[in-house]
Structure 1
Amino acid sequence: MSAPMAALLMGASVGLSIAAPIGPAAVLCIERTLAAGINQGLATGLGVATVHLAYGTLAVAGGVGLAQQWLNTPFVPILSGLVLLWFAVRVLRRGMIPAIRSEMPPTLASSYWGAVCFGLLNPTTPILFAAMVPALIGRGTVTLAPLLIAGIFIGSLAWWCALTGSISLMRSRMTARVLGLMNKTAGLALAGLAAAMIARAWSG
C-alpha cells in the first residue's frame, strides 16, 4: 500500500473511532433525524465532523494539548452541559414530531451550526484526539499531513451518514406515536447527559 493511501486510511480509522461511540453528539443527531428527517440529521453530523476536522488538524499540528487544557477549565464543561440541556428542553417541549405537526423544522444551517458549537464545547473530544496523537504523529513526511486530516473528516462523516441513514430507515416504518415516544426518549437522554456533565464539572 502506498504511503498516501496508508495515511488516508489511518486518518479515516481515527475519525471513525472517535465518532462511533454513542454520546451526546450521537443522541443529538438521532433526535434531529427522528424529529425532522434525514437532511437535519446529516446537517448535524456534518457539524460534528467539522469539529473533528478542526481537532484533527490540531492533533497533527501538535496543538491538541492546548485545546484540551482550555476545555478542561471548570466553566467550559458547565457551559457545554447547559447548551446540551437547552437542546433537551427544546426537544421535550415539543408535543409531537415537527414534520407530523406541519410545523417549520429547524433550518439546515441552524442544525449544522448548533452541532458545531456543541462539538467545540464538548470536553471529551480533545481528550479522545489527545489519546490518538501517537497514531497520528510520525506517519511520514509533512506532505502526508493533509491526507491524515482529510481521512479524519471522511471517517467521521461516514459514521454520521451511516447512523443517520439507519435511523431514517427506521423512522419511515414507525407510526407517529412511536416516533413521538422515541423523540421524547432522546430528549430525556440528552437531559440526563447534560445533568451528568454539569454535575461532574461542579464536583471537580
Structure 2
Amino acid sequence: MSLLLKGILIGLLFGVPVGAVGAMTVQRTWEHGIKAGLLTGMGSSVADCIYAGIGAFGLTIVSDFLLEHQTVIHLVGGAIVLYLGIRLFFRKEEETEVPEVSGRWRMFLTSFAVGITNPAAILTFLFAFSWFGIAGGSTKGNGWLVVLGVFLGTWLWWGGLTAAVSLARKKKRKDSFQRVNRIFGVVLSLFGVLVFIKALPI
C-alpha cells in the first residue's frame, strides 16, 4: 500500500471522531452554507497535517516540547472553545451568507486554533503510523506523501459532513436559527468545560 493511500486512510480515521470542530462545522454549514463548513473543516485539516508532519518526519524535539506543555496548550484551546460556545449561545442575528474575507479567515483560524491546541494528536498519529507500518523519520523524502494523504483524508470527511448538513439545511424552518445556535452553543461550551476538567488536577 502506498504512503499516500495510507495517509488518506489515517486522515479518514482521524477525522471521523466529532469533537468541537465537528460541532463548529455543522453549525456554520447550517447557518452559512457549505462554503463556511468547508472553511472550518480546512482549518482543522491544516492543524492535523502539522501534527502528522511532526510524526512522519520524526521531529521529536518539537513533539517533546508540545507534549511537555500540553496542559497549558489544552487550556488555551478549551478557553477558545468555551468563548465560541458562549458567544454562539447569545447570538440573536442570523447571517445567511458567508461573511466577507475577514469573516472567512476567522472561520478558518478559529478551527485551526482549536485543532492545533491538541498536542495529544501527535500520539494518535504516531500510533496510526505504527499500525500502518510507517516509522517516524524513516519515510525520508516521501514523508510529504503521508502528510498530503492525511490532508486529503480529513478533507474527504469534512466534505462529506458538510454536504450532508447542506442537504438537511435546505429543509430547515425559518425559525430554527436561534434554537440551533443555542444547541451548538451549549455543546461547544460543554466541550470547553470538559477540556478544563481534564487538564486541571481536581
Q: TM-score band (shorter)? A: 0.7 to 0.9
Aligned equivalent of 1:48: 44
Counterparts of 2:136 and 2:49 in 1: how far apart (Å)?
A: 19
- Distance verdict in 2 for CA 1:184–1:96, change over 3 Å: farther
Alignment equivalent of 1:152, drawn from 145, 150, 153: 150
RMSD of aligned Cα (Å)? 2.4
Gap runs ≥5 in structure 2 = none
Q: CA offsets per residue over residues 159-189 of structure 1, 9 Å max, x none?
A: 1111111111111111122343222211111
1:61 to 57, 61, 66: 57
- C-alpha spacing 1:93/1:49, structure 2 compared with 1 (3 Å): same
CA distance in 2, matches of 1:143, 1:180: 50
Q: Which amino acid aligns with 1:156?
A: T
Contact 1:39–1:108, Cα closer than 8 Å, also in 2: no
Q: What is the deviation of 1:67?
A: 5.4
Q: Which moved more, 1:49-58 or 1:175-184?
A: 175-184
Instruction: Tell me whether 187-196 or 177-186 shows the greater mean CA deviation.
Output: 177-186
Aligned twin of 2:91: 94
The CA distance in 1 between the partners of 2:194 and 2:171, in whole Å, is 33
Specify the alignment match of 1:12 in structure 2: 8
The match for 1:27 is 23
CA distance in 2, matches of 1:40, 1:83: 19
1:122-141, Cα deviation, whole Å (9 max, x unpaired): 24422322322313327975
TM-score by length of 1: 0.86
AA of the residue aligned to 2:89: L
Q: Give the aligned partner of residue 182 of structure 1.
A: 180
Correspondence for 1:85 among 82, 86, 108? 82
Residue 71 of structure 1, CA deviation: 4.5
Q: Distance in 2 between matches of 1:28 and 1:124?
A: 20
Moved more, 155-164 or 55-64: 55-64
One-letter amino acid matched to 2:198: R
Which residue is equivalent to 2:127? Answer: 131
Cα deviations across residues 45-76 of structure 1 (Å, max 9, x unaligned)?
0111111111111110113642551452x322
- Secondary structure of the equivalent of 1:192? helix
Q: Is the 8 A contact 2:74 2:118 kept in 1?
A: yes
Deviating more after overlay: 124-133 vs 158-167 = 124-133
Number of corresponding residues: 197
Question: Percent same amino acid among aligned pairs?
Answer: 22
Superposed structure 1 runs of 4+ greater than 4 Å apart: 102-106, 138-141
Question: Paired residue for 1:167?
Answer: 165
Shift of 1:144: 2.8
Counterpart amino acid of residue 89 in structure 1? I
- Tell me if structure 1 keeps the 8 A contact 2:90–2:182: no
Structure 1 residues 176, 151: CA separation in 2 closer, same or farther (over 3 Å shift)?
A: same
Contact 1:97–1:183 under 8 Å retained in 2: no
Q: 1:124 to 1:165 in 2, by over 3 A?
A: farther
